Structures are given as C-alpha cells and as structure tokens.
Amino acid sequence: MKILHLYHDIMNLYGEYANVSALTRLLQHMGTEVTVDKRSLQDTVDLSEYDFVYVGSGTERNQKVVLEHLRSMKEALSDYIEQDKVILMTGNAFEMLGSSITDSSGKATQGLGLFPFTVTEQNKTRVTGDAIFSTDCCEHKLVGFINKCSTISGIETPLFTVEMGIGNQDNDTKEGIHYRRFFGTHLTGPILIKNPYFLIYIVSLLAGEDTPVPADSLSYETAGYEVTLSELTKRMNNT
C-alpha cells in the first residue's frame, strides 16, 4: 500500500499529520506493507503511483501558495478522483478544488474548478466550535473540532450532516464534500484519530470490505471516542 502525504510541511496545522500515522499504523497492524511518501512544493509527483492521498490544513497564505503549485496536477488529480481512488483533504485543503476563493479584501483567486462550489473568507473572527456529525459512510457519528474563517456555498454532495457545530456556511446543516472516494471536511481532531470507526471505513475502501480489523487494534481510540461523544452529546442536549 502506497500513501502520499502531500504538502506535509506547509499544510500542517492542528497536528493533522496524525491522520497519516493512524492510517499507516492500522494497516500495518492488519499485516499490510505500507510505504508513506512525503512530497511538497519542490517535488514532482505522479499521483497514479498511490493508493491513498492526504492533504492537511494550512494558513490562508500557505493555501494560496499550494493552490498555485497544485494547478499543474489538476488533470492528474481529477483522474485520480474519477478512478475511485481514495483521497482525504482536511481543513481548508479541500477548498482549493472549488471554482474560486475570495479573501477578506474581496480579491478572488481561481480554484482548480473540479467542483462548482465557491469559498469566501473573512478576517474579523475565526469560526470555531466542537462538532458532532453524522454520515451515510458509516453508522457511527463523528466528533471533532471546527476552526475556519470561510463559508462555502454550492456544494452539491456534502459529506456530513451537522447535529452539533458548524456547517459549510451559516445555519447550514451540511458540512464538507463527498464525491466517489474523495472526502473533504473542516473537521479536525485529527479526524482519523478521534473517529476510529471512520478510520475503519477508510481502511475498508483501501483493503476491501471483507478484510478483518483486529479487535484490539483501536481499543484506546474507541474508548476515547465514546467519552468524547458522550460529553458532547450531553452538552448538545443541555443547550
């Protein structure tokens, strides 16, 4: 199994590198040989070599730098997604795949245009808060934290339904984007550490649904998830 951690050094907020660590550790525990390549602005990348691609969150400035570099991979990225390969983008990484990003001064930057949504940033305050989301991808709810300065409109296939927290835009009950095996979300935590059942779902896409996950492989993560979900649910029910 070959994993690509793209822009590992510049899109690296919130400890999101741990998503790759969690995925690698579980696959290896299942007996899968895993290679992780870290690539960034100075590298030439052939996406077709990889089974899984991950891009994490960055500052708004770094996002624009990465966006310019990513333009050269637009067609390869589109092909990767259309071939049903698995890709996860967290934080503002997935925003780059929309049609445009308008910053707080009103300057619009053209996105990759792989999806029709638009992004608008503001710099007065960051939008933050704990979250509980549900999804058709797995039967268990997801937990985590949102920290962003953007609103997103025009997403046709959202990833999550908001039960507690912040959606793609104000008063939105939907969050993130899901198309084929492409997953984009602002949910941090990191998402694959906080949500072992979603991690198992991603592994099932890579290794096959019938591939068994050892019962003891995620015992600590599952215990932590149950505590977090319980506490957030209590808070949600008391508001």
Express each pLDDT in 134-165 by its tens digit. 999 999 999 999 999 999 999 999 999 999 99
What gap in Å lies between CA 105 and CA 190, rounded to an integer? Answer: 30
Q: Model-level pTM?
A: 0.96
- 57 belongs to a structural domain: yes
Tokens of 9: 């050094």
- Over residues 206-233, the pLDDT tens digits come to 998 888 887 688 999 999 999 999 999 9
Question: By CB neighbour count within 10 A (0-12 exposed, 13-18 middle, 19+ buried), where does 33 fall?
Answer: exposed
Confidence label for 170 from pLDDT (cuts 50, 70 and 90): confident
Closest listed residue to residue 152, CA positions, set 96, 107, 192: 96
Domain annotation covers residue 185: yes
Please report whether residue 129 resides in a domain: yes
Q: Is residue 67 situated within a structural domain?
A: yes
Number of domains, the chain = 1
What pLDDT, in 10s, does the model give residues 28-49? 999 999 999 999 999 999 999 9
Q: Which residues are 129's β-sheet partners?
A: 146
User: Checking DSSP bridges between strand 100-102 and strand 118-121, what pairing results, if any?
Assistant: parallel
Report whether pLDDT(239) > 80.
Answer: no
Within a 10 A sphere around the Cβ of 97, how many other Cβ atoms?
26
Domain with residue 52: its CATH number is 3.40.50.880
Q: Is residue 41 part of a domain?
A: yes
* Mean pLDDT of all residues in 77-90: 98
Domain-embedded: residue 192: yes
Q: Is residue 102 part of a domain?
A: no
Backbone angles phi and psi of 107, in degrees to 5: -80, 125
Domain that holds residue 136: 2-97+107-237
Residue 33 lies in a domain: yes
pLDDT of residue 175: 98
